Homo-oligomer: A and B are copies of this chain.
Amino acid sequence: MISEEQVRATLARYVELVGAGDMDGILALYAEDARVEDPVGKPAHVGIEAISRFYREGLGRLDATARLDGAIRATRGCGAVPFCVDLDWAGQARTIEVIDVMEFDADGRIRSMKAYWGEANMVARGQP
């Protein structure tokens, strides 16, 4: 099981890569058989090909940036990262407040990602 420090570093790196729109970098963090629910409760994207489509057709088409929004909570093998995604949504500057919860495999790859956010977490930019 990967260490708390490795979990913390990978979650920080993930937010950097989302902010940079680096699809290849994001996908390299995932295990081949990973599972992504974003937002949690929606049907999961299972396997790296489905996950690749999800990121490229979603985030990859947006002019989005991302930033940490508080301390990463990490322990051995899993963790939770609060962050904000800033983007234009139908011509309006919006921020989506997200917490991603990730579980890692023995190789340090993400095997499960669940993104917690709802309608009220999409706010006008600059508003709390």
Residues of chain A whose beta carbon lies under 8 Å from any beta carbon of chain B: 4-5, 7-8, 39-41, 69-71, 73-80, 82, 97-99, 101, 116-121, 128
Task: Evaluate contact between B116 and A40: CB separation under 8 angstroms.
Answer: no
Determine the chain B residues whose CB is within 8 A of the CB of A121 once the complex forms: 71, 73-74
CA distance A9 to B118 in the complex (A): 13
- Residues of A contacting B: mostly: mixed
CA distance A76 to B121 in the complex (A): 13
Contact of A80 among B4, B74, B78, B99 (CB under 8 A): B99
Determine the chain B residues whose CB is within 8 A of the CB of A76 once the complex forms: 41, 118
Determine the chain B residues whose CB is within 8 A of the CB of A128 once the complex forms: 71
